[in-house]
Structure 1
Amino acid sequence: MSDWDDRLSRWRDELELFAQLEETPWVPLAQAEQETGVSRSALRAWYRNGEIESRLVDGPNGPQRLVPLDAVVERAARSPRIQRRAEREVSLEAQVMLLRHRVDQLELRLAALEKDK
């Protein structure tokens, strides 16, 4: 195992230990963004304004900012902008499903018309 892989492995072990000790996972901003859909700029504003906790730890590439994932989820639930975006995404997904269904119906009708010719 290379020195880099060893350092990365130790860093991941530390993150797991934080989660076990505090019963809530502390994750890097990139992971919080990926899992919650909250932008990094919003996450930064939230921890700078004291709306969520954060901590700076040594990471494999230098200092790494961590935030408690549960707190991010709770704060995101109180954000009207994030809720509207989530509703739009659900709405868009529902529209796509409806359109797929309509296309399936049209394909069946077309097949029936071609069969009758």
Structure 2
Amino acid sequence: METPSDWEDRLARWQNELELFEQLDEKPWVTLAKAEAETGVSRSALRAWYRNGEIQSRLVDGPNGPQRLVQLDAVIERAAASPRIQRRAEREISLEAQVALLRHRVDQLELRLAALERR
């Protein structure tokens, strides 16, 4: 039987793997749930996008079995190209969520700028 400590170790290993993906690609790979929460795009739309090849995804072992990850930047860009999603997002996303999205974009731009300056 799995103990709470085993579960916490398993979850920590999984989170470390996600961080490694981000470091290797310099773009954050997130779960569908996190992509949905941060962008306002429904999971069904995310699934359609990766199945149609409109965004990249990868399947990794998660604490509860296989877990689908998508690149957050790609989701944001794809959502920006969809007038329907933009209209819905403008109606549904609160001001705080919009600020969080903008902060994330600024953080990503700062990381890219730092990488360019290192070169």
| Normalised TM-score (structure 2) | 0.73
Give the corresponding residue for 2:59.
Answer: 56
Runs of at least 5 residues in structure 2 that lack an aligned partner in the other structure: 96-119
* 1:3 pairs with one of 6, 10, 14: 6
Number of corresponding residues: 92
Give the corresponding residue for 2:109.
Answer: none
**Superposed CA RMSD:** 1.7
Q: By how many angstroms is 1:85 displaced?
A: 1.4
Whole-angstrom distance in 2 between the partners of 1:86 and 1:40: 14
Runs of at least 5 residues in structure 1 that lack an aligned partner in the other structure: 94-117
Q: By how many angstroms is 1:88 displaced?
A: 2.8
Give the corresponding residue for 1:23.
Answer: 26
Higher relative contact order (CA 8 A, sep 6+): 2
Whole-angstrom distance in 2 between the partners of 1:29 and 1:89: 18
Q: Is 1:65 aligned to residue 71 of structure 2?
A: no
Identity percentage of aligned residues: 80
* 1:47 pairs with one of 50, 58, 71: 50
Whole-angstrom distance in 1 between the partners of 2:72 and 2:25: 12
Which is greater in Rg?
1
The AA in structure 1 aligned to 2:52 is N
Whole-angstrom distance in 2 between the partners of 1:38 and 1:47: 13
Q: By how many angstroms is 1:16 displaced?
A: 0.5
Q: Deviations over 1:59-110 (max 9, x none)?
A: 00000000000000000000111111133347x97xxxxxxxxxxxxxxxxx
Q: By how many angstroms is 1:4 displaced?
A: 0.4
The AA in structure 1 aligned to 2:22 is A
Give the corresponding residue for 1:97.
Answer: none
* 2:90 pairs with one of 87, 92, 99: 87
